[in-house]
Amino acid sequence: MAIRTHSVKIWDLPVRVTHWSFAILAPAMWITAENDAWAWHTRLGHVLLALLIFRVIWGFIGTETARFSRFVKGPGKVLSYLRGDYDEKREIGHSPLGALSVLGLLSVIGAQVSMGLFAGDPYDGATGPLNSLVSVSTADMITETHEWFVYAVFAMIGLHITAIALYAGLRMQNLVGPMVVGQGEKAQGVTGNSSASARNFLIAAVLAVGIALWIWFGAPPLT
């Protein structure tokens, strides 16, 4: 029997904007690196850094479906999800399994961006803003890892997009629509996401931009 549904709020605007920015910036970082467009690689890298910091802070002070504490579940919940004990029409936000892919994606991109900050050779070509804080040989090692780790980033993204396509094809679940417009169809009685707090948004945005700018200038001492 088809259940009656209504449209509810699932994702807030900051989650959607950071998401689609990651989706554009990840390939852009690769394209700029492959074309030796280092000034753009570094500029866009700092934008990506600010967005990542924002998303992590928003994971603590954002709306309900953005919060890690709400969607990151223990192995028991992941196993019961895999056994089919989960009614997606009655839940909003990331599923227990989806939560793992969120953590995976944010971690691999976070690791790649962090390595980029120290990457490069001061005597030859572009360098990240924190390159001078490590020795030339350490920077060399970080740069080599940064070069191959791009495949780990793309493998994670490939898995992510495959999973979304499988949900659409096999389980007839449209996850993409809510990530674009913020709303989705859920069973009657299910309440939507909480509202975003302007104050918390400002705290996250100021911290994210502030830290990214500080790093851009080589993380000078603050005193």
Binding site for ligand HEM (CB under 6 A): 15, 18-19, 22-23, 26, 29-30, 33, 41-42, 45-46, 48-49, 55, 94, 98, 102, 105-106, 109, 112-113, 116-117, 119-120, 125-128, 143, 146-147, 150, 153, 157, 160-161, 164, 175-176, 179
Q: SS3 letters for the chain?
A: CCCCEEEEECCCHHHHHHHHHHHHHHHHHHHHHHCCCHHHHHHHHHHHHHHHHHHHHHHHHCCHHHCHHHHCCCHHHHHHHHCCCCCCCCCCCCCHHHHHHHHHHHHHHHHHHHHHHHCEECCEEEECCCHHHCCHHHHHHHHHHHHHHHHHHHHHHHHHHHHHHHHHHHCCCCCHHHHHHCEEEEECCCCCCCCCCHHHHHHHHHHHHHHHHHHHCCCCCCC
Contact between residue 48 and residue 198 where contact means Cβ atoms under 8 Å apart: no
Minimum separation from the CB atom of position 24 to ligand HEM (A)? 8
Q: Which residue is nearest to ligand HEM (CB)?
A: 116
Minimum separation from the CB atom of position 179 to ligand HEM (A)? 4
Minimum separation from the CB atom of position 2 to ligand HEM (A)? 22
Minimum separation from the CB atom of position 102 to ligand HEM (A)? 4
By C-beta, is 139 or 223 nearer to ligand HEM?
139
Minimum separation from the CB atom of position 83 to ligand HEM (A)? 19
By C-beta, is 128 or 223 nearer to ligand HEM?
128
- CA dist 116 and 218 (Å) reads 13
